[in-house]
Structure 1
Amino acid sequence: MIQTVIFDMDGVIVDTEPVHHYAYNQQFKQLGIDISPEMYASFTGNSTKNIFERLKAEFNLEQDVQTLVQTKRNLFNDAFDNKEDLYLLDGVEDLIKELHSNGMQLVLASSSATVTINRIFNRFNLDQYFTHKVSGEDFPRSKPHPAIFQHAAFLAQTSVENCIVIEDSTNGILAAKAAGIYCVGYDSFHSKLQDYSQADIVITHFNQLSFEKIKSIKKPV
């Protein structure tokens, strides 16, 4: 029986992608590099650190990775603080509250930095529902590597057979499956160039999930 639901954050709980896109593109202009839409889409689910490690090697950037990460973070924070039209994705708050009120353990496992996770959670008062928050910046390899989800299950003290992951990205889905965890792919209109073929089920709205549906999920043998 499912005991723990592991949520991704960006694209699942809140759509901060426009803010990230703005911050990254401001920085790409500063750096004088041209990133194709396909390359940008491949970043989805990766930590900022891993993205800039890749870009530093690809474009032979002079700045060290930590400086690049901090510059992007500052651009994101400035844009985030000034963005009034930032909302939780339709239906996700109702699902979170229903799961929590029925005793389901909720864990966040996001590639975002801890400071970004905390900004989102403080803005929308989400800490009351989640027992743990895991940031991808604490792992040397990003999704699709399974470490972040394996650690989330470990913190929850729940076997992977009794967890599910809700993810919106190709890399996140692959990470969940590599961890041996049942994965719900969330294919929303915010999703761009992502592959949901490896997800166990695919939803397009959170009203397609409920406590009863999640509790009764059985992992394929």
Structure 2
Amino acid sequence: MVKGVIFDMDGVLVDSEPFWQVAEMEVFPQYGVPITLEDTLKTQGLRIDHVVQFWFSRHPWRGATPKEVEQQILDAMVAVIRARGEPMAGVHATLESLHQAGLPMALATSSPHILMETTLEKLEIGHYFQATCSAEHLPLGKPHPQVYLNAADALGLAATDCLAIEDSFNGLLAAKAARMHTLAVPDADHRSDPRYVIADRQYLSLEEFSLEHWL
């Protein structure tokens, strides 16, 4: 029986994955990285410093440190979320149903605190969460499970009593490593990926969410 629910943020609560793609394709080519839209999918769900290091290791650049490139991408992300951030389908109904059922909720994201705060403010959903956890300052981000373990601990629950809702395979690996129940809501580009079979359930969107599946 699930006693608490932990949400990923990007691609689950907010349709921000296209924003990451736009920001990366805007910034990386300035430093000679020949990134394509398809290339951005290789790092989906990873922490931004890991994304930058991924590309720096393959196409080293001069003129800016990786940390400075990270900040450029984050600045672009904050601006676009404030301007265009929208909740994913079914988000408000799902959050409200869990709230009415009395289930505590947490956020476990690879995104930095500034993006987490910007998103919660833009979507006006911060009041639903008893805990918000970012992997920003952890030694490792997803697919390492630490951010999920921290979120469960913040709710005062055993990880095995929590449901994690993820869109990316890296995030799903993190939740499975934490031994949580898992719901995958992959985007259209990943729905046919056979690796998602490791999730307990897979939905097309949170509009399919039903508490009866988990209680």
Normalised TM-score (structure 1): 0.89
Please name the residue that 1:135 is paired with: 134
Report the Cα offset of residue 37 of structure 1: 4.7
Alignment pair present for 1:120 and 2:114: no
Q: What percentage of residue pairs aligned between the two structures are identical?
A: 28
Code of the residue aligned with 1:40 in structure 2: it is: T
2:187, 2:58 → 1: CA distance? 31
Code of the residue aligned with 1:149 in structure 2: it is: Y
Secondary structure at 1:49 match in 2: helix
Contact 2:32-2:61 at 8 Å conserved across structures = no
Report the Cα offset of residue 39 of structure 1: 3.7
Contact 2:167-2:184 at 8 Å conserved across structures = yes
Please name the residue that 1:94 is paired with: 93
For structure 1, the residue ranges without an aligned partner over 5 or more in a row are 217-221
How far does the alpha carbon of each residue in 1:42-82 deviate from its partner, in whole angstroms, 9 at most, with x for none? 21111111111222222223332221111111122233333
Change (3 A) 1:211 1:10: same
How far does the alpha carbon of each residue in 1:109-129 deviate from its partner, in whole angstroms, 9 at most, with x for none? 011111011111011111110
Cα RMSD between the aligned structures?
1.8
Alignment pair present for 1:159 and 2:158: yes
Report the Cα offset of residue 190 of structure 1: 6.5
Change (3 A) 1:192 1:65: farther
Note the 1:75-94 alignment, pairs <5 A.
Answer: 75-83=76-84, 86-94=85-93
Code of the residue aligned with 1:144 in structure 2: it is: P
Alignment pair present for 1:59 and 2:55: no
Contact 1:11-1:168 at 8 Å conserved across structures = yes
Contact 2:12-2:88 at 8 Å conserved across structures = yes
Q: How many residues align?
A: 213
Please name the residue that 1:69 is paired with: 70
Note the 1:12-31 alignment, pairs <5 A.
Answer: 12-31=12-31
Alignment pair present for 1:46 and 2:46: yes
1:27, 1:164 → 2: CA distance? 35
Worse-superposed segment, 182-191 or 86-95: 182-191
Change (3 A) 1:128 1:142: same
2:87, 2:13 → 1: CA distance? 6
For structure 2, the residue ranges without an aligned partner over 5 or more in a row are none
Normalised TM-score (structure 2): 0.91
Change (3 A) 1:176 1:51: same
Please name the residue that 1:219 is paired with: none
Report the Cα offset of residue 36 of structure 1: 4.5
1:72, 1:37 → 2: CA distance? 15
How far does the alpha carbon of each residue in 1:114-149 deviate from its partner, in whole angstroms, 9 at most, with x for none? 101111101111111001111121222221111111
Report the Cα offset of residue 105 of structure 1: 0.5
Change (3 A) 1:70 1:34: same
